[in-house]
Amino acid sequence: MTARLRDADGAPAVGYEVRFCEQSETVNIATTGATAATSNAEGLASVVLHGASGYGLVALTAGDDDTPLCRWEIRSADTAGDFTPSLCALPTTGSSFVNGAEVINPVCGILANFGPVTPGVNNGWDFDCTNSVAGGDITGTIGKGGILQYFGDGAALGERLGCTP
């Protein structure tokens, strides 16, 4: 993503750090899962977010005070910590991997969350944004990620990329 920063007069805002930050405790951006950049002479900065686990809000911010430019709801294919019900919580340290637990965990796997989307209950599993959790969220559709498209993906988790209050 490329952001163009401008000041109040519409001139390019030069030298501002642009980065992603987690606005929810459940996103868990991996150590190398997001980049940061400094705005150039045209006010442009290009950043990438490509590795996270869980579900929640992430903001694209600029400057020392982390002024939010925009925010997204992130839905990662890593939705279960392991295969047993007691291991639903996603790791906040160590590593995050997409495996069979995302499908078959009887409490937090996708099969336990099939049906119409209920905000705060199963919306984190609706990867294809159809307002229903179903087989397409496992297999995926063109242009929209499903769990099987990310099977085996994993990365070490870093410190939470929190926004400055």
Q: Mind listing the pLDDT tens digit for each residue in 22-55?
A: 888 788 888 888 999 999 999 999 999 988 888 8
138, containing H or E segment: helix 136-139
Q: What is the extent of the structural domain holding 117?
A: 85-156
- Asked whether residue 65 falls in the same domain as residue 93, the answer is no
The predicted structure's pLDDT at residue 106: 92
- Asked whether residue 35 falls in the same domain as residue 6, the answer is yes
* 18 within domain boundaries: yes
- Asked whether residue 56 falls in the same domain as residue 95, the answer is no
- Asked whether residue 89 falls in the same domain as residue 61, the answer is no
The predicted structure's pLDDT at residue 164: 61
- The more confident residue out of 79 and 110 is 110
The predicted structure's pLDDT at residue 91: 76
CA distances from 134 to 44, 57, 82, 86, 140 (A): 39, 23, 21, 24, 10
Using alpha carbons, select from 162, 25, 138 the residue that is nearest to residue 91.
25
- Asked whether residue 30 falls in the same domain as residue 60, the answer is yes
